[in-house]
Amino acid sequence: MQIILLHPRFTKARSVTLGSKHLFILMFLLVGLIAGSSTLITYFLLRQAGDPDASPLLHKLAVSMSQEEDGRNEKFLKENLAMMAVKVGEMQAQMMRLDALGERVQGLAGIRPEEFNFKESPGRGGAEVSSLAGPGRDVGLDELRRMLDNLAVDAGHRTDYLNAVESTLMSDKIKSRLLPTNQPVNVAYNSSSFGWRLDPFTGHNAFHEGLDFPAPVGTRIVAAAAGVVIASEYHYQFGNMLEIDHGNNIITRYAHASRLFVKVGDIVKRGQHVADVGSTGRSTGAHLHFEVRIRGIAQDPRKFLALGANGGNQPKQMPVFVAGR
């Protein structure tokens, strides 16, 4: 850059040539001057702001700047509090879902409500000052936000876990209700057990494939488990007979009934009244002949009824019983 200087005192024009080095030095000095001036003004304002009598204008300017900074801080705080309030609302909804899910799991698991109450906060306590870490400290805004985020993630994981537990418990509950563990008649003993015996008609040694429960004619017969009726008919040996399919290849048979109250295709519940005791078919007197069959093979019904008598604690996997001598 070339600068030409003209003046009446000069006999001739003078010129000054500025290179890039000179321009860089001038720009550096200009920036330094601006920064220094700004620092001095700020220092002067801060020093004079506390004394209104010294410079009212400077005091008003400092107060205005302070109020503007406070306004920005308040706006930032309000925005963060609004975000945290939304997060807290989401957490409250998540906790309500967890409480409802926990109560369902509690019921399926057989835990008494007084032993684990989801409506009450668990007791907590401890010393204010730790011997390991010293006294407590204040929680900052950023730290509180991180804690809420981590809590939301943990709540999601626990919801997934409880859903899986609920599904497993529900599956076990359904399977247990499909096992024939309910006593079909209200009788304390049986007149003929499962296994080899002398046939009451021929006197020959014959295998008895069920249990005989003696009871007066008209005594209620109930379903040993939930299922679907697959036979409701008269059989030349079993008389009036019912067969109920409980799934998993399990079938129960109720024979010698005087009356049948369900038909083929009916869905029956556990403990539902399905027939009355009688003495139809090949029978010497009023009784219920009760069988349990797995894949068509007769099983000892006492092994299933014993599970119900012990409180209904069913195994996770159904045992397979094989008839034998």
Question: For position 319, what pLDDT does the model report?
Answer: 44
Name the pTM for this structure. Answer: 0.51
Q: Is the dihedral of CA 91, 97, 103, 107 positive or negative?
A: negative
- Alpha-carbon distance of 57 to 63, in angstroms, equals 10
Report CA-CA distances (Å) from 228 to 137, 173, 253, 265, 306. Answer: 66, 18, 12, 6, 23
pLDDT, tens digit (0-9, with 9 covering 90-100), for 53-88: 555 655 666 666 677 777 777 777 777 777 777 777
pLDDT, tens digit (0-9, with 9 covering 90-100), for 106-153: 666 666 666 666 666 666 666 767 666 667 667 677 777 787 788 778
Q: Average per-residue pLDDT in the chain?
A: 78
pLDDT, tens digit (0-9, with 9 covering 90-100), for 38-48: 777 776 666 65
